[in-house]
Amino acid sequence: VSNAGVGMAGPLECQSLAAMQSLMDTNFFGLVRLVKEVLPDMKRRRGGHIVVISSIMGLQGIVFNDVYAASKFAVEGFCESLVVQALRFNVAISLVEPGPVMTEFEAKLYEEAKRADYSRTDPETADIFTNLYLRNSKDVFTSLGQTPEDIAEHTLRVIEAARPPFRHQTNVAYTPMAALKHADPSGALMTDAFYKLVFKYDAVLRLSLR
């Protein structure tokens, strides 16, 4: 089970390349290093199961989570490319894709975001992040967040499955979000829906979450 991960949220201009590279080293290359260690032996004995804790953000990018989403997209692409070869050797690969999970990981991330220096971005972007994104994110976690124990139960079901799924989403509330991309290959439907949700109907979003 690959579960190492760090987060990053905020305006892109305020994030250093070194911090981005460090995040990718944990979230993506940490998985790659693990798979390189365990896969050869699994292939030799023609059996095994690699379970990767990914994220719904590996399927759909979310505003102000650019680099974190990129790391999870990398995880998804890596596993999607590898799974066919692995199956030839009777090795299963499963991606567990949670939405928000209520842990110290998230609490620490948002506390750091509140204290961060936003002088390297424009005032409008800083205002959108602090007064729209952070405020709405707290409501999202309160309303839709899962406990670590819930994610563990989902992961256990994936591990024990007779025919392990390649993808397993843990939160049905996020199924429509991922479905928007498949409904319109041009991306216009998804982009328009998220733009309106963030910038036009944010008050409705907060009210519905509460």
**What would the two tokens of residue 48 be?**
């095994």
133: annotated active-site residue: no
**What would the two tokens of residue 163 be?**
């025919």
Q: What angle, rounded to 10 degrees, do the helices at 202-209 and 188-199 form? A: 80
Residues 6+ apart with CB under 8 A from 93: 49, 50, 52, 79, 82, 83, 86, 166
What distance in Å separates the CA atoms of residue 39 and residue 82, rounded to the nearest whole number?
10
Closest to 205 (Cα-Cα) out of 140, 134, 116: 140
What distance in Å separates the CA atoms of residue 14 and residue 117, rounded to the nearest whole number?
7
Looking at the annotation, which residues are catalytic?
A: 68
